[in-house]
Amino acid sequence: MLELILAAAAVIVALTLAWVAGRRRKHEGLAWVEAQPDNVARLYLRAAAEADGYWLHVQMRSGRKRMIAAPWELDDTLRRLGALGLALSPDDRAALDASLARRADQRDDGGRQSRRGAAGGAAA
């Protein structure tokens, strides 16, 4: 039993360390972009497999690439970078807008279905 507890604790520690390292790296990349916006070659999106959204990446003029925002941080990060004159390409912007529209439609459909279900249940 002690071995199981130790193994579980080791997994939790490893996952926590990986999360902290990834978060630090993302923040360092964003800070670098904000400090040197002239060295940015492009901002681009990559589809998030686990959600209907995108991860924001940056490519520097040196060829180095970094992920700088998770799907739930896109709006704030793009707003911050927009103040520096950095923006997505028209194609990436269109893909992001389409994704946001799909999510809005899903929320609207889900709300209508739940209201119909509640009304149907009350009438029965």
pLDDT band at 111 (very low <50, low <70, confident <90, very high): low
Beta bridge partners of 42: 59
pLDDT at residue 24 tops 90: no
Domain ranges of the chain: 2-114
Stated pTM of the model:
0.68
Q: Could you tell me where the DSSP H helices lie in the chain?
A: 2-35, 74-82, 90-123
DSSP annotation string for 53-69: EEEEEEEETTS-EEEEE
The C-alpha angle with vertex 109 and arms to 103 and 115, in degrees rounded to 5, equals 135
63 compared with 28, residue with greater pLDDT: 63
Q: How many angstroms separate the CA atoms of 38 and 105, rounded? A: 38
- pLDDT of the residue at 112: 56
The pLDDT tens digits for 50-109 are: 777 788 999 999 999 988 988 888 889 999 999 999 989 888 888 888 877 877 777 776
Per-residue burial over 90-103, b = 16 or more CB atoms within 10 Å of its CB, e = otherwise: eebeeebeebeeee
- pLDDT of the residue at 116: 44
- pLDDT of the residue at 41: 92
